[in-house]
Amino acid sequence: MVSKRAFVMGHPIAHSRSPMLHGYWLTRYGLEGSYERLDIPPQELDAFFADFRNAGWIGGNVTVPHKTSVIPHLDRIDDDATKMGAVNTIWWQDGALLGGNTDAIGFLGNIDELVPGWDKTARRAVILGAGGATRAAAYGLQSRGLDVALCNRTPSKAQKLADHFGAGVSAHAMEELAGLLENCDLLVNATSLGMIGQPAHDIDLAPLKKDAIVYDVVYVPLETDLLKKAREKGHRTVDGLGMLLHQGVEGFSRWFRTRPEVTAELRQLLIDDIRAKTPGA
Ligand code: ATR
């Protein structure tokens, strides 16, 4: 039996690219271990954690729909997970089972890699959405000192998040977007719009500040309609694939005690897989 077993758990989970990511790193660094894909429906969550120690899990990733419901099963959650109200990474520390959230680190690591130094001048961000991805983006951007405007179809959800994050994070209705874009240094799509199988964003980028960066957390397709429109208008763009890669670095380091690198080869491996499995991506 493999001695170091890690996992990604969710429901559904078939689409997850985390096994490919962590499998690549295990091979690249010649480490003994596994990273397994677990389909755990909500009604099986209790049983999964009851058997956690026996099964020999060293930790893993948590995704939809379990990011909040795993919390009562853990001994502690760290500050990032507390602030985001969700856990995406589980690991053992001194005999205690801990939960953290590396999505904000992934969000920032991606833009730091693709647009180095971006935060030296960026002051104001606009985030579209008010779900899980918005929490990670807003938390990350707030930690870098940006003012963050949340714009969502359902404004009450944006307001709830703004209240949660406090100073520097405000909530707005979509009707306010054009005005917000004029002073925006970074526009982020944190909704599922633009993903394969979903409608595209119907957003007019004409008012967007000339040198603004446009970041889409969606990575299937790699270049969403929003990013294409932004690129054609001359904006620097950031796709969502690197967010997955960079959030994974933190978990891998905690489980396998080796800090892995996000390389061009790894990025290409995932791009090829996305293209092979999703016509039109
Ligand atoms: P995630 O956790 O992946 O961020 P989520 O919590 O389901 O996913 O959030 C999805 C986000 O996409 C929400 O902000 C949602 O807007 P509402 O809060 O109004 O539901 C947004 N969204 C999804 N479909 C949309 C659509 N057709 N038009 C506008 N916004 C949409």
Q: How many CB atoms lie within 10 A of CB 246?
A: 21
Q: Are 81 and 106 within 8 A, CB to CB?
A: no
Q: Same domain, yes or no, for 18 and 89?
A: yes
Residue 186, domain CATH: 3.40.50.720
Residue with tokens 């061009």: 264
Same domain, 134 and 80: no
Q: Measured from the CA of 157, which atom of ligand 1 is nearest? A: 18
| 67 given a catalytic annotation | yes
Q: What is the pLDDT of residue 3?
A: 83
Q: Which helix (H) or strand (E) holds 241?
A: helix 241-256
Do both 137 and 207 map to the same domain? yes
Residue 261 and residue 226 in contact, taking contact as beta carbons nearer than 8 Å: no
Looking at the structure, tell me whether residues 214 and 150 fall in a common domain.
Answer: yes
φ, ψ at 148 (rounded to 5°): -125, 125
> What pLDDT is stored for residue 109 in this prediction?
98
How far is the C-alpha of 204 from the C-alpha of 188, rounded, in Å?
14
| Residue among 17, 18, 14, 35 at smallest CA distance from 26 | 35
Q: Residue 133: CB within 6 Å of ligand 1?
A: yes
Question: 220, 274 in Cβ contact below 8 A?
Answer: yes
Helix, strand or coil for residue 229?
A: helix
Residue 131 CA: nearest ligand 1 atom is 6
What is the per-residue pLDDT for 171? 98
- 114 and 235 share a domain? yes
Residue nearest to atom 5 of ligand 1 (CA): 131
Distance 153 CA to ligand 1 centre (A): 8
> What is the extent of the structural domain holding 41?
5-101+242-277
Number of domains in the chain: 2
Residues 233 and 273 in one domain: no
Which residue's CA is minimally distant from atom 6 of ligand 1? 131
| Residue 93 shares a structural domain with residue 71 | yes
> Would you state the pLDDT for residue 279?
78
Domain check: are 20 and 127 in the same one?
A: no
User: Are 235 and 110 within one domain?
Assistant: yes
The whole-number pLDDT of residue 43 equals: 98
128 ligand 1 Cβ < 6 A: no
Ligand 1 pocket mutation, candidates 62, 88, 191, criterion most atoms within 8 A of CB: 191
- Give the CATH number, domain containing residue 248: 3.40.50.10860
- Ligand 1 in contact with 155 (CB < 6 A)? no
Tens digit of each residue's pLDDT, the chain (281 residues):
668 999 999 999 998 999 999 999 999 999 999 999 999 999 999 999 999 999 999 999 999 999 999 999 999 999 999 999 999 999 999 999 999 999 999 999 999 999 999 999 999 999 999 999 999 999 999 999 999 999 999 999 999 999 999 999 999 999 999 999 999 999 999 999 999 999 999 999 999 999 999 999 999 999 999 999 999 999 999 999 999 999 999 999 999 999 999 999 999 999 999 999 887 77
Q: Which two tokens stand for residue 111?
A: 């833009």
**138 and 205 inside one domain:** yes
* CA distance linking residue 65 with residue 10, whole number of Å: 6
Shared domain for 163 and 141, answered yes or no, is: yes
With a 6 Å cutoff on the Cβ, whether 143 touches ligand 1 is: no
Same domain, 215 and 125: yes
Under 8 Å CB-to-CB from 194, ≥6 apart: which residues?
200, 201, 216, 218, 224, 225, 226
Binding site membership of 65 for ligand 1 (Cβ less than 6 Å): no
Q: Is the CB of 152 under 6 A from ligand 1?
A: yes
Which atom of ligand 1 is closest in space to residue 128's alpha carbon? Answer: 14
Q: Whose CA is nearest to atom 26 of ligand 1?
A: 193
Determine phi and psi for 149, rounding to 5 degrees.
Answer: -105, 125
Token match 């918005």: residue?
134
Q: Can you give 110-136 as a three-state secondary structure string?
A: HHHHHCCCHHHCCCEEEEECCCHHHHH
Residue 192 Cβ contacting ligand 1 at under 6 Å: yes
For residue 199, the ligand 1 atom closest to its alpha carbon is 27
Please choose, from the candidates 134, 123, 118, 103, the residue with its C-alpha nearest in 3D space to the C-alpha of residue 235.
118
Choose the catalytic residue: 67, 120, 160, 277: 67
Give the start-end residues of each E strand in 160-253: 169-173, 186-189, 213-216, 236-238
